[in-house]
Structure 1
Amino acid sequence: MKRILLFFILAAAVMYGILHGNLWRNNLYWISFYGQTSSVGASPSYETSGVTQLPPTAVERRSALDTCLLKPAFDSLLGVDKIYPFLCANDFIRVAEFQGSDKFELPYGIKRAEQFFRLALSRLESCGLSNEDDNIACRRCVVVGNGGVLRNKTLGEKIDSYDVIIRMNNGPVIGYEEDVGRRTTFRLFYPESMFSDPIHYDPNTTVVLIVFKPRDLKWLWKILSGQKISDKGFWKKPAKNMIYKSSQIRILDPSITRKTAYELLRFPTRFPKKEKPKHPTTGLIAITLAFHICHEVHLAGFKYDFTDRNSSLHYYGNETMSQMMQDLAQMLFAGKCLKATWSQMAGSRDKDHMHLNPLPNALFWAVCLQSWWQAD
Structure 2
Amino acid sequence: MRGYLVAIFLSAVFLYYVLHCILWGTNAYGVPPVEMKKRNKIQPCLSKPAFASLLSVPCKKCVVVGNGGVLKNKTLGEKIDSYDVIIRMNNGPILGHEEEVGRRTTFRLFYPESVFSDPNHNDPNTTVILTAFKPLDLKWLWELLTGGKINTNGFWKKPALNLIYKPYQIRILDPFIIRTAAYELLHFPKVFPKNQKPKHPTTGIIAITLAFHICHEVHLAGFKYNFSDLKSPLHYFGNATMSLMNKNAYHNVTAEQLFLKDIIEKNFVIDLTQD
Relative to the length of structure 1, the TM-score reads 0.58
- Supply the RMSD in Å over aligned alpha carbons: 3.1
Q: Which residue of 2 aligns with 1:189?
A: 110
Offset at residue 295 of structure 1 (A): 0.2
In the alignment, does 2:257 pair up with 1:355? no
Q: 1:313 to 1:345 in 2, by over 3 A?
A: farther
Match of 1:222 in 2: 143
SS of equivalent residue, structure 1 residue 196 = coil
Deviations along 1:149-190, one digit per CA (max 9) or x if unpaired, are 001110000000000000011100111010000000000011
1:264-314 superposed Cα distances (whole Å, 9 cap, x missing partner): 111111122232211111111101100110000011000111112221110
1:148 paired with 2:69, answer: yes
Greater relative contact order structure (CA < 8 Å, 6+ sep): 2
Give the secondary structure class of the aligned counterpart of 1:207.
strand
Shift of 1:339: 11
1:117 aligns with 2:38: no
1:310 partnered with 2:221: no
Q: What do residues 84-103 of structure 1 show as CA deviations (whole Å, max 9, x unaligned)?
A: xxxxxxxxxxxxxxxxxxxx
Letter in structure 2 aligned against 1:355: T
Aligned length: 242
Unaligned runs of 5+ in 1: 1-104, 348-352, 358-376
Report what 2:55 is aligned to. Answer: 134
**In structure 1, C-alpha distance between the alignment counterparts of 2:272 and 2:108, rounded to whole Å:** 23
C-alpha separation in 2, matches of 1:186 and 1:341: 25
Choose 1 or 2 for highest CA Rg. 1
Shift of 1:200: 0.4
Contact 1:132 1:204 in 2 (8 A): no
- Identity across aligned pairs (percent)? 61
Amino acid at match of 1:115: F
Q: Kindly tell me: are residues 128 and 318 of structure 1, through their superposed partners in 2, closer, same or farther at Cα, counting changes over 3 Å?
A: same
Q: Counterpart of 2:38? A: none
SS of 2:180's equivalent in the other structure is helix
Q: 2:121 aligns with which of 200, 203, 206?
A: 200
Return the TM-score normalized by structure 2. 0.79
* CA distance in structure 2 between the partners assigned to 1:180 and 1:336 by the alignment: 21
Q: Distance in 1 between matches of 2:261 and 2:180?
A: 25
Matched, 1:256 2:151: no
1:270 is the counterpart of 2:191: yes
Shift of 1:218: 0.9
Q: Describe how 1:305-344 pairs up with structure 2 within 5 A.
A: 305-326=226-247, 344=265
CA contact (8 A) 2:88 2:105 kept: yes
Residue 335 to residue 128, structure 1, CA distance change in 2 (3 Å) = closer
Unaligned runs of 5+ in 2: 1-5, 32-50
Q: Secondary structure at the match of 1:208?
A: strand
Say which of 149, 168, 172 aligns to 1:247: 168
SS in 2 for 1:166: strand
